[in-house]
Structure 1
Amino acid sequence: MLWSAGSNGHGQLANGSLIDSHIFSPCSFLGCLPGTLPQNRKLVHLAFGANHTLALLESTERDGQKVTELWGCGDGNAGQLGPSFIGESIATFRPLDLLLERNGLAGYLPRLVCASWQTTYAVMSCPAMPDVLISIGANDFGDLGIGAIRAKPVRDFHIVGLEHFCAGAVAVALLAAGQHHVVVRLAGGPIVGWGTARHGQLGAVETPFLPSPAVLTPARADVIHAALGHQHTVFLHAAGTVSGLGSNRKRQLHGIGNRTRARSVACTWNGTYITTDDGDLLSTGSNANGQLGHADSDDAVAFPFTAATHQLLHVACGSEHVLASFAAGPTTEVWGWGWNEHGNLGVGTTEDVRLPCKIWPPDSSQAQSGRVSIWAGLGTSWIAVQSH
């Protein structure tokens, strides 16, 4: 089961309408009952642009081989949902046909997906073959990574050139995007990026945009995860330390270089969130909408419970709101806070939530067994419950 709440002017919540939803409503996949996934498929990941949503689904074939599919909904005007939906908005998840076979990628399947404002990125993989990173959609700030600042929507995807950064075959280990910049870590190779760079979010560069991938400097090779805000980039390193690039105008990088024992990093547009091995959630940056979850003089999110009753599982950052899931006895709870103009916290109002409040399950009758996953997009929130 998959539920969503929040901004929905282009159908990006996949609930069959174009109206914002202030409570969590079931999502629809083509040919399925509301809330349910296509038969024999599980949800691997969701990714979000300004007004479009991508869903990576996985199924297992009879021979035991896993097969992945890319579905999408919302705004396709710039080509970000592929050639079938250019100029359209679709309010239910539908399979995206990227014309892979016609473009020489027969046998390739999507493995990693992310999105910037009006652009979609997917790492396509095929056994014994190099990875291929494709981009499709808008290119206002060099988002496509194809060497131009602007380009009109095209009917086919672009291939982002990564070969000359690799000693061997291209293998992508990490893919992340902000509003208009992208970061990729190549297995056994460097970290590269492209897009907007004027605030230093892509390292020490002399131009406001990087229309083609370039090596990020300084950037260490031991990065295991990256999170991107509007004008900053944050890295989690294998030793549990954290580093950042870009703007600190809203204190979004304040003190992060002193953190140790970090377990994960995430970013809102203007904030940074770090979970630690001790189960804490630390936040810094803009608090204009209560998105830090604490007073400006503190650094730990102010949850009304302790680690004795709630174990932090996962944190998801949207544009300027945050979700966190916890194991609370036999139940998984989801808490949320921050910007709520579109009802994206699913609490039935459009008022900002300045301190964490429980948003799932709404009541004990809706608690369900299964693995609970959370995602947050641009004014949207998502909760999935899938069988173990």
Structure 2
Amino acid sequence: MHAVELCAADETLRVRAISAGPHHVLVVVHCLSEGIDICRVFGWGASRHSQLGVQQAIVPTPRIIHQSPCNAPDSIASVACGSQHSLLLRSDGTVEGLGSNRKAQLTFHPDLAHVRSIACSWNTSYALSRAGVIHAWGSGNHGQLATASAAASSKSLSIGGGISTLACGSEHIIVLGDDGTSWGWGWNEHGNLGLRHNQDVHEPTNLQASRSAHTTATGVVGVWAGCGTSWLALA
């Protein structure tokens, strides 16, 4: 374990967000000193494609990618790491992209605005608008764009009565609805969507039907996704 100093000794540190991709890490911290709250984004790891804001094979220690007062419209509220790209969500609901655009993962959806959360799979980007619409753009080779086309493109979709959480795995996505339902689509080679088969899924599919008959849980309260794996917390 390597300890790093993200704020000065006379500043109070509060971690606001962390995202780790396969090769790089982004952290959003608040540094408070004498009533001034500064929002800083640090990154380290691989940056050959400038996913950390600088073209460098490896950034071995945290470097500042962005810094502004936390009450400024351009302060960073959250971050998301893909394989070779990064997304930064500003407080004003706009999104900034860094890194590779080889699979159109930084070619933002044309209707992107008023974003409240972001997520990345390896080569695809997702944004949830304040109106509850999911915008997706980038690679669709495993159905990640909720379409049968494998071409890199963009798509918007709405699911159910509202969405609270987006969770991206390597090339699949899990969505938690406000009503406790869960939905998934994308890469499913290892059964990572829990649908009792291993075929890729090209449209949002309700995951509740695959639940064990032995559980008395009535809804999903949390979702997470990793490399070929997914987790649902039931209650």
- Give the TM-score category using the shorter length: 0.7 to 0.9
Alignment of 1:338-377 (within 5 A): 338-362=186-210, 368-369=217-218, 372-377=221-226
**Equivalent residue for 2:101?**
248
Moved beyond 6 Å, runs of 4+: none
**Equivalent residue for 2:113?**
260
Query: Does residue 4 of structure 2 align to residue 160 of structure 1?
Result: yes
Residues 203 and 163 of structure 1, relative CA distance in 2, 3 Å threshold: same
Q: How far apart in 2 are the matches of 1:172 and 1:327?
A: 26
Matched letter for residue 173 of structure 1: R
State which of 284, 305, 323 in structure 1 corresponds to 2:174.
Answer: 323
Alignment of 1:1-388 (within 5 A): 157-164=1-8, 168-187=11-30, 188-205=38-55, 207-216=56-65, 219=66, 221=68, 222-255=75-108, 259-294=112-147, 295=149, 298-301=154-157, 309-328=160-179, 332-362=180-210, 368-369=217-218, 372-386=221-235
Q: How far apart in 2 are the matches of 1:201 and 1:193?
A: 9
Q: How far apart in 2 are the matches of 1:256 and 1:242?
A: 11
- For residue 192 of structure 1, report the CA deviation from its aligned partner: 1.3
Residues 300 and 370 of structure 1, relative CA distance in 2, 3 Å threshold: closer
Q: How far apart in 2 are the matches of 1:201 and 1:281?
A: 23
Residues 269 and 186 of structure 1, relative CA distance in 2, 3 Å threshold: same
Q: How far apart in 1 are the matches of 2:29 and 2:212?
A: 45
Matched letter for residue 122 of structure 2: W
The structure where strand makes up a greater share of residues is 2
Q: State the SS of the aligned residue for 2:141.
A: coil
Q: How far apart in 2 are the matches of 1:159 and 1:223?
A: 23
Gap regions ≥5 residues in structure 2: 31-37, 69-74
Q: Percent identity between the aligned chains?
A: 38
- For residue 312 of structure 1, report the CA deviation from its aligned partner: 1.7
Q: How far apart in 2 are the matches of 1:353 and 1:383?
A: 18
Residues 384 and 210 of structure 1, relative CA distance in 2, 3 Å threshold: same
Matched letter for residue 316 of structure 1: A
- For residue 171 of structure 1, report the CA deviation from its aligned partner: 3.1
**Equivalent residue for 2:71?**
none
Matched letter for residue 119 of structure 2: A
Q: How far apart in 1 are the matches of 2:123 and 2:225?
A: 15
TM-score (norm 1): 0.52
- For residue 189 of structure 1, report the CA deviation from its aligned partner: 4.2
Q: How far apart in 1 are the matches of 2:141 and 2:187?
A: 8
Residues 313 and 171 of structure 1, relative CA distance in 2, 3 Å threshold: closer
Residues 370 and 351 of structure 1, relative CA distance in 2, 3 Å threshold: closer
**Deviations 1:189-222 (CA, angstroms, capped at 9, x unpaired):** 42111110110100034x2111111111xx3631
| Contact 2:190-2:228 at 8 Å conserved across structures | yes
Kindly tell me the number of residue pairs found equivalent between the two proteins: 218
Matched letter for residue 352 of structure 1: D
Higher relative contact order (CA 8 A, sep 6+): 1
- For residue 239 of structure 1, report the CA deviation from its aligned partner: 0.7
Matched letter for residue 311 of structure 1: G
TM-score (norm 2): 0.83
Residues 361 and 325 of structure 1, relative CA distance in 2, 3 Å threshold: farther
